[in-house]
Structure 1
Amino acid sequence: MPNDIPADPAKLVETYLRTLMIPDPVGARRFIAPGVEIVFTGARPMRDPSECAAFNAKRYRWVKKRFEHTHVVAGGTPAHTVVYNTGTLHGEWPDGSAFEGNRYVDRYTLANGLIVRMEVWNDSGELLLLRAGIAA
C-alpha cells in the first residue's frame, strides 16, 4: 500500500473525501480497492470516483462537505472496518443560488486499508423538490 494512504480508517475516509471534493477523482482512486461499489443517493450504482464527480457536476454548480463527525465502528479489524462520516453540504445549485446545511451521511466499508464500498445519503433530493414547489 502506498505510504501516503493513512493507516487510521477515519483519516483515510476524510482524506479520500477531501480529494474527491476538489474534485480530483484520479487522486481519489488511491484510496479505493479494485471493484469498489459506490451507491449514491437514490440507489445510484457507481464504480469509480469519476462517476461521483460527474453526478455532482450535474446536480450542483459546486458542492463541498463540512465534516461534523467521523466514527469508526467498534469491533472493526484491519481486514474489515466500517466508518461513518456525517456533516452538511454547502455550495450552489445549477442556477447559481447558494445552499448550506444540507445534511449528509456517508458509510464506508474498508478492507485491508482501502475503501471497498461507499454509500451516500443526503437531503438534496428533498431540497430540490421544495425548490420545484412539489413538496410540502
Structure 2
Amino acid sequence: MPVINVTMLGGVYDAEVKTRIAEALTDAMRTVIAAPPEGVIVALNELPAGNYMRGRTFKTPGPALPDAREVVKTFLERMEARDLTGAQSMLADGFRMVFPGGVEFSRLEELIDWAKPRYNWVKKTYDDWDVAAREDGVAVTCQGTLRGEFPDGTPFEGIRFVDWFLVRDGKLSRQHVWNDLGEYVLSQAGA
C-alpha cells in the first residue's frame, strides 16, 4: 500500500483543489504500482502561512490551475454555441488544431469556413474523458459520438469521434480531431 506525503503552504488552496491534487497523485501512483484506488494513501500536510522561506525570502505558492477537463469542455460548448469570442479567449498564443485529413488551422474562423460545406451544425455526446499530466502541460482526450445536419438538411448521428487537447497554464495550445464522418458519407453514397 503506497503512501504519498505532500507538504504544501496552507491557506492557499480550497477543498476542490486539494481533492484534485489527491486524485491526480492517486492516479499517477496507479500508473506505476498495481494498487486499487483505496489502497493509495495521500496525505496533504499544510505549513502555516508565513512558515516557508527560500533564498531568505518568504514565498507565495502559485495559484491553482483550472481543471483541464473543464477547460476543454467549456471550449467545446462555446464552439457548439458558435461563441467564437468566448472560445478564442481560451486559446494560448500559437494555438494549432488538426482535423481529419491532416487539415491544420490556427484560427477558429478558418475552422468555421472549412466546416461550412461539410455540415450546418454538429453537437457532441461524450462517452469518456481521459486526463494525463505531461511535461509540457495536460493532455485531455474526449470521445463519443457526433450528431448534426448536413448542408442539404439531412440529419446524421452516431458518428464516432476522438478529440485530443494539450492544455498549458489553463489555455488550449493544441487540438487534434479524429472522426468517422467521412466513412459515414462514403457508406451513405454506397461506396
TM-score range, shorter chain: 0.7 to 0.9
Specify which of 110, 127, 131 is matched with residue 184 of structure 2: 127
Following the alignment from structure 1 to structure 2, what is the Cα–Cα distance between the partners of residues 98 and 46? 26
Q: After the TM superposition, list the runs of 4 or more consecutive aligned residues in structure 1 that deviate by more than 4 angstroms.
A: none
What corresponds to 2:168 in structure 1? 111
Specify which of 54, 75, 83 is matched with residue 140 of structure 2: 83
Q: Is 1:95 equivalent to 2:117 in the alignment? A: no
What corresponds to 2:119 in structure 1? 60
Specify which of 57, 70, 73 is matched with residue 11 of structure 1: 70
- Please say which of residues 51-60 and 92-101 is displaced more in the overlay: 51-60
- Please say which of residues 47-56 and 80-89 is displaced more in the overlay: 47-56
1:61-112, CA deviations, whole angstroms, 9 ceiling, x for partnerless residues?
2111112222112x346x5110001111101111111111101000001111
| RMSD value, Cα | 1.5
Deviation at 1:123? 0.6
Taking CA–CA contacts closer than 8 Å with sequence separation of 6 or more, which of the two structures ends up with the larger relative contact order? 1
Following the alignment from structure 2 to structure 1, what is the Cα–Cα distance between the partners of residues 180 and 166? 22
Following the alignment from structure 1 to structure 2, what is the Cα–Cα distance between the partners of residues 66 and 20? 14
Deviation at 1:55? 2.2
Task: State how many pairs are aligned.
Answer: 127
Counting aligned pairs with the same residue, the percent is 36
SS in 1 for 2:116: helix
